[in-house]
Amino acid sequence: MATVAARTREGAPLAIERVRVDELRAALRGPLLLAGDAGYDEARSVWNAMIDRRPALVARCLGVADVMAGVRFARESGVALSMKGGGHNISGLAVAEGGLMLDLSLMRGVWVEPRSRVARAQAGCLLGDVDRETQLHGLAAVLGFVSATGIAGLTLGGGFGYTSRRFGWTSDNVRSMDVVTADGRFVHASEEENADLFWGLRGGGGNFGVLTGVEYVLHPLGPEIYGGAVAWRAEEAPQVLEVFRKAATEAPPELALVAVMRIAPPAPWLDPNVHGKPIVMLLACDTGDVTKAEQRLAPVKAFGKPVGDILQRRPYVTQQSLLDATQPRGRRYYWKSEYLPAIDGEMLAKVAEHAARITSPQSAVVVFPLGGAVRSRPSDHSAVGNRDAEAVLNITASWEDKAQDSVHVEWARSAWRDMRRFSTGGTYVNFLTEEEAGERLAAAYGKNLARLAEVKGRWDPTNLFRMNKNVAPAVAR
Ligand SMILES: Cc1cc2nc3c(=O)[nH]c(=O)nc-3n(C[C@H](O)[C@H](O)[C@H](O)COP(=O)(O)OP(=O)(O)OC[C@H]3O[C@@H](n4cnc5c(N)ncnc54)[C@H](O)[C@@H]3O)c2cc1C
């Protein structure tokens, strides 16, 4: 009997009869790919090249009915199941070895209702897809810093970006979500309908079902904002980081300031004399009144001797893709991250120290701002924990040569071990690497973890959805 070699949810070998695979193919509108098929390798690859897993089957879903067929197949066959949105998760959660991958990346429709300030987006959208459509109306959803990131993983994990200080987590700005649940039903979740599921979906990742669509609350913003970046030689870091500390601490919610320390890439906006040399960079995005923003950021522009300055009036969509080139798909990546209670001088001095020890020209230490509206809701408003954070520290190792893995991973780990003392004790679920579970999951959710496990027990009692940072009570794992 012809079979396809696969793996169960528990990781055991599983032989799926060809006839069952053919039935699944017939039930789908989109293509079903197996190893050797054109497009299989592209579909199984994710942003982080450290992840190299081979699913048995890839269903390239074209709509909700395809997702339902896939969930039914996974439930009945016992095959491991994963969902792919933008493929940006650093742990590679989109792909399970020997599993069935529901690849939603062809589902990229966005519908904007300007009068009610709502956008409906299909779950395979990238952040840039949503910005592109909403900005036509001078509206924006709260999204992240890199336009190629998937909305599904980002929103389900909480989500933050330049406008989070003003409007909260991405998931705070969601009106409803549509999911296909473990029992194969299409379920609408909002404050009014299936409220417990809606609570869990806003932070709980892919634990509860396959997201097929999101309804975002939009805010009037852009199309022109004041933003960009200014860079200085690393020798000026102590003074620049003090400017950052003061400006970030006093910033109104409209202003997000990000500090980045790294080796200068050969970017055309940077003085060629600093290419390959250490720099400190401040990224700014002010979505308030443009004239006031210009005045607010004038001291940053005027400070010291910049080696590059692209802080200017610009379309919001260009701000949203400013970092894209620094995060290409297919490099090797390893991150360590912590939430910070404050942006203080001692912590920033340590950031500079660890940046000075960077082992790869693509690595960086980044401090993102939070606080503001993130703090304005109660800690159990949704599953996302850590509303007390004022900033996010991300130690991002990035390189190309596989043989150098241990060097760059160890740089990130050792910097993190030293920086942990500045943490709130919390961390962001969407930045967790492959090996981070257990206590790191508790750090990501805090008190909300127990409630997440309860919601999981109701909506996915057999832990069908386990290719995620899993919140199932231990018994179902
Ligand atoms: C370069 C880069 C920049 C980033 N910037 C930010 C940022 O600014 N702000 C921020 O908050 N985060 C950011 N992140 C983290 C990001 O939120 C997570 O990596 C997130 O998981 C990416 O979502 P994705 O859809 O691209 O992921 P994928 O790898 O496709 O999916 C990751 C996991 O999300 C879940 N998932 C995906 N699709 C579905 C679905 N349809 N239904 C149910 N579950 C699903 C599953 O558990 C899946 O395994 C960034 C990541 C990268 C790599």
Phi, psi of 256 (to 5 degrees): -115, 125
- Cis-peptide, bond into residue 223, ω within 30° of zero: yes
Contact 278, 263 (CB under 8 A): yes
Token readout for 456 is 């999981």
Distance 233 CA to ligand 1 centre (A): 33
Distance 155 CA to ligand 1 centre (A): 8
**Residue recorded with tokens 């792909």:** 95
> What amino acid occupies position 139?
L
Residue nearest to atom 17 of ligand 1 (CA): 154
pLDDT of residue 438: 87
Which atom of ligand 1 is the closest one to the Cα of 153?
23
In angstroms, the CA 79 to CA 71 distance is 10
pLDDT tens figures, 290-345? 999 999 999 999 999 999 999 999 999 999 999 999 999 999 999 999 999 999 99
**Residue recorded with tokens 């009106």:** 175
Characterise 371 by phi-psi region: left (phi > 0), alpha (psi -120 to 50), beta (else). Answer: left
Distance 157 CA to ligand 1 centre (A): 7
- Picking from 441, 242, 257, 424, the residue whose alpha carbon sits closest to that of residue 340 is 424
Distance 470 CA to ligand 1 centre (A): 15
Residue 378: Cβ-neighbour burial (10 angstroms; 0-12, 13-18, 19+): exposed
Distance 321 CA to ligand 1 centre (A): 16
Contact 300, 229 (CB under 8 A): no
Helix (H) / strand (E) containing 340: strand 332-340
- Picking from 334, 335, 324, 332, the residue whose alpha carbon sits closest to that of residue 267 is 324
Q: Cα–Cα distances in Å, from 181 out to 188, 264, 291? A: 10, 46, 48
Which atom of ligand 1 is the closest one to the Cα of 126?
26
At what angle are helices 237-250 and 345-355 packed, to 10 degrees?
A: 140
Contact 141, 118 (CB under 8 A): no
Which residue from 154, 164, 172, 283 has its CB within 8 A of the most atoms of ligand 1, so it is best to mutate? Answer: 154
Which atom of ligand 1 is the closest one to the Cα of 157?
17
pLDDT tens figures, 188-226? 999 999 999 999 999 999 999 999 999 999 999 999 999
Q: Cα–Cα distances in Å, from 167 out to 142, 198, 317? A: 7, 19, 18
Which residue from 198, 324, 430 has its CB within 8 A of the most atoms of ligand 1, so it is best to mutate? Answer: 430
Which atom of ligand 1 is the closest one to the Cα of 123?
41
> Vertex 49, ends 48 and 50: CA angle to 5°?
90
Residues in the chain: 477
> What amino acid occupies position 456?
K
Which atom of ligand 1 is the closest one to the Cα of 67?
41
Residue 326: Cβ-neighbour burial (10 angstroms; 0-12, 13-18, 19+): middle
- Residues of the chain below pLDDT 70: 474-477
In angstroms, the CA 139 to CA 218 distance is 6
- Mention every residue, 6+ apart, whose C-beta is less than 8 A from residue 35: 54, 56
Residue 46: Cβ-neighbour burial (10 angstroms; 0-12, 13-18, 19+): buried
Residues with CB under 6 A from ligand 1: 46-47, 82-90, 93-94, 104, 123, 144-146, 149-150, 152-154, 156-157, 159-161, 205-206, 210-211, 327, 430, 467-468
Which atom of ligand 1 is the closest one to the Cα of 169?
11
Distance 434 CA to ligand 1 centre (A): 13
Contact 141, 134 (CB under 8 A): yes
Helix (H) / strand (E) containing 165: helix 164-167
Distance 86 CA to ligand 1 centre (A): 7
- Picking from 307, 253, 315, 252, the residue whose alpha carbon sits closest to that of residue 282 is 307
Distance 240 CA to ligand 1 centre (A): 32
Residue 78: Cβ-neighbour burial (10 angstroms; 0-12, 13-18, 19+): middle
Torsion on CA atoms 116, 121, 126, 128, rounded to nearest 10: -30
pLDDT of residue 385: 84
Distance 126 CA to ligand 1 centre (A): 10
